[in-house]
Amino acid sequence: MEVDYIVVGCGLAGVSFCEKLKENNKSFVVFDNNSQQSSIVAGGLYNPVTLKRFTPVWKSEEQLNVALPLYNALEDVLKVKLDYKISVKRRFTSLEEQNNWFAASDKIGLKPFLNTSLQENTNPFINADFKLGEVFKTGRLDTKLLIEHYKKHLASNNQLLVEAFNHDVLVTENNKISYKTITAKQIVFAEGFGIKQNPFFKDLPLNGTKGQLLTIYAPELKLDYVLKSSVFVIPQGQDVYTVGSTYEQKDKTNTITQDAREMLLNKLKTFIKCDFEVLNQVAGVRPTVKDRKPLIGRHQTNKNMYLLNGLGSRGVMISPYVSNQLYNFIENNIPIDKEIDCSRFY
């Protein structure tokens, strides 16, 4: 088989890059063995504001301008509903937080996204004595459904190989990539935390942060927006909510833990005042980098080998944007933004 590209990994980064290849009539094949869970178990929230300290997400407007049209197009291709427009509201715990919100709303990069009118809490099952701050241009992407249906779409076109990629078999010579019976012009690794098994890029400072989330059933809560306090509460419909997330540095497995469950429940109970039932718990390792920026670009010596990784907890927003950057670098020789170019660590 001869293709333009081999793509390794079919999480949010891989999906976004494949769509860029399709847009430009490039042939490709994707390897994915379901070993990485971070895109599948993610809460799927897209939100242009960091709500812990009221700071703008890096290039948030540019990211949204690329991401939302892509997800709308994928809904048409895959014949499923993926993008749910839903407001995000930050629960204030003091007058100081209210004042910080008003101060942030005048800053460049935040003004279009922060509602300067504080929201009264009208829900009897939420403890929010200091009101709520509303963020604009937010929503939830059903990442699990997206990836499940996208893999089926690839498989139907004979573009998906459900197997582990063996890096030792890869051969690069004469401006070609060879892998078993496949030859390609380029290869893009979008493996997430799987980069740690990739001999070509494993030395880059992608450390990984484990995140765990709960799914709860709370029939009295009747929440019609995403609530951010010490944890997020994200409505999924039919009185079901995602609660998360944890940020764990040492454990790099996809195994759920009782400690994380108790931590999330203890935080949730500080501001939710109704009964609920825990339905599920999931875990995944986010591909996080020490400077909190993605790792995008070309290998130091193998000029047909590229990296698309390090998207952290904001893969929904950032993956289409950085996929465009990488594609334009490969095909059109347009430089990658220095802040995200993996060459910053070479």
Q: State whether 282 and 294 are in the same domain.
A: no
Q: State whether 214 and 196 are in the same domain.
A: no
The mean pLDDT of the chain is 94
Q: State whether 171 and 294 are in the same domain.
A: yes
Q: State whether 190 and 149 are in the same domain.
A: yes
Instruction: Say how many domains are in the chain.
Output: 2
Q: Residue 294: give its domain's CATH number.
A: 3.50.50.60
Asked whether residue 21 is domain-assigned, the answer is yes
Asked whether residue 148 is domain-assigned, the answer is yes
Asked whether residue 75 is domain-assigned, the answer is no
Per-residue pLDDT for 202 more than 80? yes
Q: State whether 314 and 197 are in the same domain.
A: yes
Paired with 141 in beta bridges are 83
Question: Percent of the chain beyond pLDDT 70?
Answer: 98
Amino acid symbol at 228: K
Per-residue pLDDT for 36 more than 70? no
Cβ-based burial of 97 (10 A; exposed 0-12, middle 13-18, buried ≥19): middle
Q: State whether 296 and 266 are in the same domain.
A: no
Asked whether residue 66 is domain-assigned, the answer is no
Tokens of 284: 């995944």
Tokens of 214: 């709960």
Q: Residue 279: give its domain's CATH number.
A: 3.30.9.10
Q: Which residue has the tokens 């089926």?
A: 152
Residue 160 CA to residue 7 CA, distance in Å, equals: 10
Say which residue, 288 or 26, is predicted with more confidence.
26
Per-residue pLDDT for 46 more than 90? yes
* Residue that is last in its domain, among 254, 269, 286: 286
H/E segment holding residue 180: none
Q: State whether 129 and 218 are in the same domain.
A: yes
Residue 114 CA to residue 111 CA, distance in Å, equals: 6
Q: State whether 232 and 273 are in the same domain.
A: yes
* Residue that is last in its domain, among 286, 308, 333: 286
Q: What is the SS3 assignment for 22-52?
A: HHCCCCEEEECCCCCCHHHHCCCEECCEECC
Per-residue pLDDT for 42 more than 90? no
Asked whether residue 83 is domain-assigned, the answer is no
Cβ-based burial of 178 (10 A; exposed 0-12, middle 13-18, buried ≥19): middle
Work out whether strand 171-173 and strand 176-179 pair parallel, antiparallel, or are unpaired. Answer: antiparallel
The per-residue pLDDT for 41 is: 65
- With left for phi above 0 and alpha for psi between -120 and 50, is residue 137 left, alpha or beta? left
Per-residue pLDDT for 159 more than 70? yes
Q: What angle do CA 33, 84, 69 make, to 5 degrees?
A: 75
Per-residue pLDDT averaged across 25-42, rounded? Answer: 82
Tokens of 295: 């790792």
Tokens of 194: 């799987």
Per-residue pLDDT for 58 more than 80? yes
Q: State whether 243 and 192 are in the same domain.
A: no
* Stated length of the chain: 346
The per-residue pLDDT for 336 is: 97
Asked whether residue 54 is domain-assigned, the answer is no
Q: State whether 175 and 225 are in the same domain.
A: no
Paired with 143 in beta bridges are none
Residue 206 CA to residue 337 CA, distance in Å, equals: 18
Q: State whether 149 and 181 are in the same domain.
A: yes
Q: Is the peptide bond before 245 cis (omega within 30 degrees of 0)?
A: yes
Q: Which domain holds residue 255?
A: 90-137+209-286
Cβ-based burial of 17 (10 A; exposed 0-12, middle 13-18, buried ≥19): buried
Residue 276 CA to residue 269 CA, distance in Å, equals: 10
- The model's confidence at residue 37, banded by pLDDT at 50, 70 and 90, is low
Residue 189 CA to residue 38 CA, distance in Å, equals: 16
Instruction: Write 174-179 long-range contacts (CB < 8 A, 24+).
Output: 175/303, 175/304, 176/304, 177/6, 177/304, 177/305, 179/6
The per-residue pLDDT for 238 is: 95
Asked whether residue 238 is domain-assigned, the answer is yes
Paired with 135 in beta bridges are 88, 114
Taking Cα atoms as reference points, which of 232, 217, 246 lies closest to residue 86?
A: 232
Residue 221 CA to residue 235 CA, distance in Å, equals: 10
Q: State whether 15 and 133 are in the same domain.
A: no
Question: Percent of the chain beyond pLDDT 90?
Answer: 84
| pTM summary value | 0.92
Asked whether residue 71 is domain-assigned, the answer is no
- Residue 89 DSSP one-character state: E
Residue 285 CA to residue 193 CA, distance in Å, equals: 7
Sign of CA pseudo-dihedral 238, 152, 195, 58: negative
* Residue that is last in its domain, among 257, 286, 315: 286
Query: pLDDT per residue over 223-236, tens digit each?
Result: 999 999 999 999 99
Per-residue pLDDT averaged across 284-312, rounded? Answer: 93
